[in-house]
Structure formats: C-alpha cells, structure tokens
Structure 1
Amino acid sequence: MPERAAERLKAADETQTDEDVIGSQIRELRKAKGMTLQEVADSAGISVGYLSQIERNQSKLPIGVLKKISTTLGVQINWFFHASDVPADEKDIIVRADNRRKLTFTKLGIQEELLSPNLSGPLEMLMSTIDVGADSGDYSHDGVEAGIVISGTLDLWVSGQHFTLNAGDSFSFKSTATHRCANPGNEPTKVVWIITPPQY
C-alpha cells in the first residue's frame, strides 16, 4: 500500500475518509461489476438509502463501513485511496506504472491491473498477468472486448473456437460470446485488454 494511503487509513480509523473522492469510485466500481445498490448494501450490512448517500457524497463514510464495501466489491481498501496519490493535473487522464489499481484472483492464478484512470468512461483498459497453467474458465458479459498479447502464449476460446496467440498477436470479439483464456506456456503471459462498457 502506498505510504500516503497507509497514513490516511491510520488517521481515518476513528474519523471519516475523504468521501468526496471515494463515493464516486464506489459507484463506478459497483456499476462496472453489474451490482445493484441493494446487493451491495445487503452484503455490507447497510441500508440502500445510506449507500446511495455515500455514492452521492452526501453522507459520512466511516472506515469500518468502507472496509465492508471494499470486501463486497472484491477489492482491497487501498483501491479507493489511489486518487489521493495522483497529481491534480493528471487525475482522470494519466495512470503511472507504479500506481495502478490491482486485483488478484488467487484461485485462478490471474492478476489484473487497471490501466485506465477510472471506470466512469465508455471503456476500461486492463493488464492481465496469467500464471503458467492458469485458466479463467468460461464466462460472458455484455459489450465488446479487444486485446493484444504483450508476452508469453495465450490460449483463447471464443464461441467454441480455439486460438493460440503469441506476443504481438491481437484479437477482438463480442463479449456476449462465451469465452475463456489460459496460459499453456512455461512463463507468465501478459495481455492488455480493452473492454466496453467497463466490466472490472
């Protein structure tokens, strides 16, 4: 966790977080994950009205509540503190390599880094690192996605068709098609994905 974020967490333990920055991030992430206000509120043990106020920056957000919301949305709490580490002139435009938001799917062997500055726009850009032998399993969702293999080898299935891609190869398909990816090689595979609308 960045030092500044850690300091803010410590200072906020008995007070409130900077909800004018965090509320909109909660809304962006919830929508990208396709979750309703009711689903997140129920899981976090808070009311829908309270969650709605948090997202609209109209209510205080104790750190304990933020921890519950983070767990529900599947991210570490420092996800919401990245905005405070971004210079004002770079906000919503630039993502520095050492300040990417990250998700790790431990059981799948896939780590993802958000390359786009937020999830409020029409698309998201991700960098996936797929461990040797890792397999995403079949899934589908609304939208369209495209990508390019940066390093390693990628097995890609789209609507039952199988493709093997190497570094420099790219692809695009409708996300409503059942798709799956895996790493059949002997080194981690890195893939940049562009997805619209955001599905993080």
Structure 2
Amino acid sequence: MLKQTDISAQGQAAAAKPESDAASPAAIGSEIRDLRKAKRLTIKALSEATGISIGHLSEIERGISSPSIKALHDIARALGVTIGWFLHNAEESESAERRHIVRAGNRRSLRFSSGVADELLSPNLRGQLELLMSRFPPGAVGADVPYNHTGEEAGIVLSGALEMWIGDECFLLAEGDSFAFPSTTPHRYRNPGETEAVVIWAITPPSY
C-alpha cells in the first residue's frame, strides 16, 4: 500500500534466529520470491541491488540453495525488510495453519519513517489478494506525492479520519466510511486528525 523505502520490519526476535533454525530453504525461498513479486521487482533488479548472481538468487527462491546469513541480510535490505520477514512464517511445524490463518499476535508488520505502520492480515503474498491494517498517527502522510500501480484497492476506515486524493479529487473519510478505486489512478492519503486513524485495505494484486 505504501511506497516509501525508509522502513524497518518488526519481529527482531525472529531475525535473530540462528542459521540452524527449523525454517527450510524452500520455505524461505518462497517468502523471498513472494515479496519480490509483490514489489514488482525482477530477479535481475534484485541481483543488481544485492550483488548476488541471478543464478544463485533463482536457486535460493526455488529452495535448491540455502542462503547465507549475509545473503539473507542483503536480500532483506534490498526488499525493505529485515530477515525476520522471511523467517516469520517459514517454520514447518505450523505450516498447515499458517497457509490460511493469521493469529492476531503473529502478524508481520512494517513501520515507515512517517510513523505509518502496516500489518499484513493475509497469510502470505502469493495469492491474488492482499489484506492490510494500516495505522496512521496524527498528521502522518502515506506518500509525499501521488503514485499509481497495477490493480485495484478498497477499504474501510475503522477509526479516526483519512484524507484521500484519487486523481484530482480529494475526499475526507470518517469512521465507518469505505472506498474503492483502480490503483492505476494516482492516489495518496494522510491523517488530518488529532487521533490515530486505523484503516483496513484490500489490494489486488499484492503490492506490499
């Protein structure tokens, strides 16, 4: 939903797990591939950003090769997360549930430099739909300039207020108001109020 690059992922405990963690190369590789595709990066672009060869990245994404901790850090940095993002859902012991369910205390999240925080409500990014909960502190801006991308998005304001620009039009949304628009239309948003705004977003295809 947000396109800023200065972000830090939550879940530092997961990021600190040793290389011998139960997470399999296949599970980690699929998490890397899902996030790369959601960000609409080619494997060539990721290779250029990390210095890792295209061939090795392809092997990592397919679970053929296990990435070193340094390689995982380089990939995470290029994709705007910490390695905890890839390890978070990669433990095989709970994979059956985690394919479909996200427990309230087990959400992956990103915090942007603006103070806006996104929580991923959908189990992963490999389907056609992405579900997010966004928290906007008072005065927080989702993007400095309008941006657009492939797909559609819709949502509802759970609390607070959200000022939303869609094309040349500006709308003020309050608690209970909902919205929908093609993501190809330039858009941006901010919280104009004095309390936190909480918004649920549905985006297709995923663009985290």
TM-score normalised to the size of structure 2?
Answer: 0.88
| Whole-Å separation in 1 of the counterparts to 2:46 and 2:62 | 15
Match of 1:76 among 82, 88, 97: 82
Match of 1:93 among 77, 96, 100: 100
CA distance in 2, matches of 1:16, 1:116: 23
Partner of 1:38: 44
Per the alignment, residue 194 of structure 2 pairs with 186
Instruction: Output one character per residue of 1:42-97: Cα deviation in whole Å (capped at 9) or x when no partner.
Output: 11111011001100111121111001000000012111111128723312100011
1:33 to partner: Cα distance: 0.2
| Distance apart, 1:18 and its partner CA | 2.6
Contact 2:99 2:123 in 1 (8 A): yes
Q: Could you say which residue in structure 1 is the equivalent of 2:205? A: 197
Flag as ranges the 4+ runs of structure 1 deviating above 3 A.
none
Aligned residues: 195
Q: Secondary structure at the match of 1:190?
A: strand
Deviation at 1:136, TM superposition (A): 1.9
Matches within 5 A, 1:1-200: 1=11, 3=13, 5=14, 9=17, 11-12=18-19, 18-83=24-89, 84=91, 87-106=94-113, 108-137=114-143, 138-200=146-208
Unaligned runs of 5+ in 2: 1-10
Question: What does the per-residue CA deviation read over 1:111-143, in whole Å, with 9 as the maximum and x for residues that have no partner?
Answer: 111000000001100111111111123111010
Determine the C-alpha separation between the residues in 2 that align with 1:103 and 1:175: 21
Partner amino acid, structure 1, of 2:170: H
Q: Which has the higher contact order (CA 8 A, sep 6+)?
A: 2
TM-score when scaled to structure 1? 0.91
Question: Match of 2:151, as an amino acid?
Answer: G
Q: Contact 2:138–2:191 at 8 Å: present in 1 too?
A: yes
Identity, in percent, stands at 47
Instruction: Check whether the contact 1:16–1:62 (CA below 8 A) recurs between aligned residues.
Output: no
AA in 2 matched with 1:181? Y
